[in-house]
Structure 1
Amino acid sequence: MNRFRVSKFRHTEARPPRREDKQLQIFDPRTKPRASQSTQAHENSRDSRLAWMGTWEHLVSTGFNQMREREVKLWDTRFFSSALASLTLDTSLGCLVPLLDPDSGLLVLAGKGERQLYCYEVVPQQPALSPVTQCVLESVLRGAALVPRQALAVMSCEVLRVLQLSDTAIVPIGYHVPRKAVEFHEDLFPDTAGCVPATDPHSWWAGDNQQVQKVSLNPACRPHPSFTSCLVPPAEPLPDTAQPAVMETPVGDADASEGFSSPPSSLTSPSTPSSLGPSLSSTSGIGTSPSLRSLQSLLGPSSKFRHAQGTVLHRDSHITNLKGLNLTTPGESDGFCANKLRVAVPLLSSGGQVAVLEMREKRHREV
């Protein structure tokens, strides 16, 4: 007779329970461990996602309704009993990944296992979720990430850039507004959050709510790096010989962005934003005609992103030949993440290893 018996619970492990109450909850860990606000979000208990709009009031959620249709809702935390606006897309099984740019209000919806991106403009003042454009991808999407605005080609009117993770590559998709690419458009590029922390962790935990200081995206206002060395002291000009510095406004996107760059004009198709810029610029006679202004007063304000188009950037800007990637990430994951310098992708190995890749600026050389 054996002295030891094999338990039938030997393969059992403790797992956190999955929420089935269909509730959207907001937590503030500095005040209390329980939810400070709660409401019913989506009627289906499948995967849901959230994205804050950069303020304390509004957020966007994606999920499924009772008919298993994918839907998007806009919420105001001050009136949390019902959604401000909502829209229904389709009956696909993939969970929508919300990529929200709080500065412009542009929302990109990416579905894993699909070949299409949906772009909307979130307008809390109306409130509305207005469609902007749709972009067809060349390969199946396994993950999506949003590039920070400091890495955009602002002089080419690139208002948004999304990175697509496919089976073997990372593909950038740029969203351009067809305007003149010889000047900086302040209405398209408001000040964005900088990289300097506003406070330290201890002060934040004590209740400090200081926000990160914003910086300008205008290339003429950005600080230019200069040569410094501990061996050579900086030369200071004499007061009587000092001349006022003349700042030249850069033309084009050669020095206006970091990270990936948009393709040259010789490689763009006739439907790209660079070729449509002069004909649809805001300074044309059509945009300032009295008849158009009277029509806009009747129809309401029009969006400055209504002519934006999303296009896959040149292949020289792709990161290719990726192997050993983990493409089976859960629904609450974006698949990978990125900043203006690097991307982090999960690897198919034990221990949850992550590969960090450099996003270097690449330009196509004309032969």
Structure 2
Amino acid sequence: GDGNIRYYEVSMEKPHLTYLTEYRSYNPQKGIGIMPKRGLDVSSCEIFRFYKLITTKSLIEPVSMIVPRRSESYQEDIYPPTAAAQPSLTAHEWLSGMNRGPIMMSLRPGSELLDSQTLPPERPLSNSMVQVSPQPLEPMKQPAEDGDQAPFSLLEEKLAKWTAEHHLGEKSCLTNGFDVFECSPPKTENELLQMFYRQQEEIRRLRELLIQREVQTKQLELEIKNLRMALGQL
């Protein structure tokens, strides 16, 4: 239920844990996911990106942790080698008892994969461990030609419906039934205060609407990207 994310720096020297900053939000979170290091934007010195599931709004909000540094050059000290997407072991090797460190990669743009770091020697199988032979994977069924574009058509329909619903409020800018653009100038101090509070409420509502649109747009873009990757692997 906590909506805050605290940000610390871990070092080998005392004090080993240093508080840096904190992300505060009034919306409680139901769950949170973390982007792998290789998906971060190193050009903006982004070192963490969280995806927070907001319970009250059923939305996924991206939260980035940015180091306040110049982004003209690659900051090597804040981007150590990280695990690459390629596995260092096959399923058969892992089941046979082999143990090997992950294949590392540098986050520097244009860099190649590094040598895998070897962990302790291969562990022998104990008697209590059951020998499991790898089972061949069943070939994935190819979707029908008529249904290949079905996921994209559903997303397009969802996007068109969402756009139509959210453009209804753009035809007239009303604040509690009061048009802020078609009104005479306030003549008294009381009318001026009323106008001020109405405009403040309108600004707050538009900001919330803008944030919702950004989150919805990023969520739809992520769904399209995942569908394209899934269809590309078929």
TM-score (norm 2): 0.46
Larger Rg belongs to: 2
Q: Which has the higher strand share?
A: 1
Q: Which has the higher helix share?
A: 2
RCO comparison, higher one (Cα < 8 Å, 6+): 1
TM-score (norm 1): 0.31
